[in-house]
Structure 1
């Protein structure tokens, strides 16, 4: 399961794509060249929220293509580059390159600067694929027919796949060129000249063939020199290089990765770390304080908080304790990141009415998306380029607003206040999945409702009309997040975060919440719940006037 924003979860195995591609780097007609709008033998790429990065191998440069712009920047040049990886923690690009007659791995800030050596000469051969994170690098050590794990701290390496000799045995590889690492540190290897994909489970000394065989070919059961592999939700995507088709192969094992994450497999520290506001729960007006925060957004670099009673939208840069005000003057509530526009959508008071505006995530002048007279107070939004899902709380409904036509349609509730399957009562949180099904935190009905796309009635998937503290009960839930058949609930009245498997009659576990209070393992009226790309959990601890971060500490599947 790949989470691309804090509110939309995508299962790639469910998707289909246009068969015609759009050229976003290089020449559409396939011509190579040295100009910045041309490539020559490109080998690898990185995609983040804002840009793409390409190892333009035979032009001996690392290029950065700015999203929604014709601007191209050269970050590194002078040596032949191959594999790339984005280290999320450092916001740095790791790249392998030639250095004289040797190979090294370096890193450079994704916005440019002087590169520094990570893996020095004489440690590895040419590498076409890297995975860098948490002080370590998985390196596809191609010419040595192995995958190694390099420690940036100890400056040592360990072999995690392959042997010292090339071959076709289960403990061997032959010129591997691509790797994928899942959240359990299992390694999928594009075993290029063996024409297969090998799965090396964490700690295993032998690999398992999960696609292809030694018999290369163009049939759908065969591969021919696969050079890249990507895995999500039990499905592999393979760059089958010598065959002019793209291949997807579904396995029986549900897996996810160092980037894609299956949240139902994770566990978290029970003690949170305060990353915004005061650790002891004090409110205040200073940039390092919050007062009645309501919602948040997490992206790869920053968090954004609606600091409601301080009437401001704050941006906390990565690792900063002080927030930057992007907007001030009115009480703010729900937030959403529009990925296409790289803009923050936010609901706020405007006189006696409620409106929704948008602002660039780096600041600037806001513009109106939903004018006054259409919605009541909204504590939860999901924003796309052309439409916005709005939890229209006091109108007891969820609506879909067209950003183009300036009209809306009701997608959940809207049949008066009540507890029938077609009704809601003061809903405060929503989650929209890739199929446009809407999960609603039906707050004063003390339940989570699933409204499938196009249906006129909801289905209760957690809680009931009977509020309470039991694991089968909820008390004023205010936020919901869904992944891989598991619901995560900010059970506000019970001051806890629950993990509830869809189809079960009770929550599987209380993730956070040892009573009401300001201690690291306590909450007081949690109102928003989000995750980052590593699976770390962020909670708006409303009445403690802080944002808590809970680190992943283990996996269970």
Structure 2
């Protein structure tokens, strides 16, 4: 607890990390996206002591390996490349395999090292990396819906079926159609329907919350109103939907944000990683 450094200033092992970015927990299972080691670490029970080694590693064949795609020229079902996001939804493990421009799904929590994924979204198969997604970063889900932030395309992709590889998404938020990828609809200023590099997403009760990172704001959507390019119903961090700016171009305050990268729902509380202000905010949901 008194040291720092990538992999504890050594090689990768079962109790080390190198820029961990995503965390998910459900029913005692802890999953950590160990992005710069190109792997996901799993603890089948929540750790109860310092430096407790992980039980399982995904993306690598063992805990000492740390190469992107295991050093291979193309991805596979059992490799990862700059994996930034992780989620556990209805017992399924989802990983935003960002560098491979895809999202992987394990039908059940894996129990052995290097287990291959069961399904891929964003690519036709496990060896492709140049199709629908640009920079998938965070994942959230509720019921039969899955939400994936595609920061590179300034949108949130909404799925209601994922029963096969490259299953099509139903619609997107942040863009007018499936083909558009420009920040704020090619405008400097945002609107209630546009986004600029959204990184974080969470489901809170009947709402979808999106960290619209480069616009330095949070957007809230009623789950019942979601549709292609739907406008946000709620806004935090800015005074109006057409405004942007880090802390509104002023000093930080309790109702401003600066490049928020992650958001999580904890009961009736929204937790925001207000990265540009080097702080974490707790906001009561309304």
Q: Same fold (TM over 0.5)?
A: yes
Deviation by residue 1:349-403 (Cα, 9 ceiling, x = unmatched): 46xx411112231333312230421222222112467442111111111111221
**CA separation of 1:314 and 1:484: change in aligned 2, threshold 3 A:** closer
What is the match of residue 219 of structure 1?
none
Distance in 1 separating the partners of 2:222 and 2:173: 9
1:305 is the counterpart of 2:15: no
Structure having the larger proportion of residues in strand? 1
Q: What is the TM-score when the length of structure 1 is the normalising length?
A: 0.37
1:395 is the counterpart of 2:150: no
**CA separation of 1:390 and 1:349: change in aligned 2, threshold 3 A:** closer
- Asked whether the 8 Å contact 1:385–1:403 carries over to 2, the reply is no
Bigger CA radius of gyration: 1
Q: How many residues align?
A: 221
Distance in 2 separating the partners of 1:357 and 1:292: 20
- Give unmatched runs, 5+ long, in structure 1: 1-277, 504-557
Match of 2:245, SS?
Answer: coil
- 1:411 is displaced (CA, Å) by 4.4
**CA separation of 1:500 and 1:485: change in aligned 2, threshold 3 A:** same
What is the match of residue 101 of structure 2?
354
Match of 1:477, SS?
Answer: coil
1:338 is the counterpart of 2:85: no
Q: What is the alpha-carbon root mean square deviation over aligned residues?
A: 2.4
Matches of residues 157-306 of structure 1 in structure 2 within 5 Å?
Answer: 280-284=3-7, 285-306=12-33
Deviation by residue 1:181-233 (Cα, 9 ceiling, x = unmatched): xxxxxxxxxxxxxxxxxxxxxxxxxxxxxxxxxxxxxxxxxxxxxxxxxxxxx
Structure having the larger proportion of residues in helix? 2
Matches of residues 464-503 of structure 1 in structure 2 within 5 Å?
Answer: 464=238, 465-468=244-247, 469-482=252-265, 485-502=268-285
Distance in 2 separating the partners of 1:379 and 1:476: 15
**CA separation of 1:368 and 1:362: change in aligned 2, threshold 3 A:** closer
Deviation by residue 1:143-189 (Cα, 9 ceiling, x = unmatched): xxxxxxxxxxxxxxxxxxxxxxxxxxxxxxxxxxxxxxxxxxxxxxx
In the alignment, which of 203, 208, 213 is matched to residue 443 of structure 1? 213
Deviation by residue 1:319-369 (Cα, 9 ceiling, x = unmatched): 252123133232212111122xx221112146xx41111223133331223
Match of 2:214, SS?
Answer: helix
Distance in 2 separating the partners of 1:311 and 1:289: 13
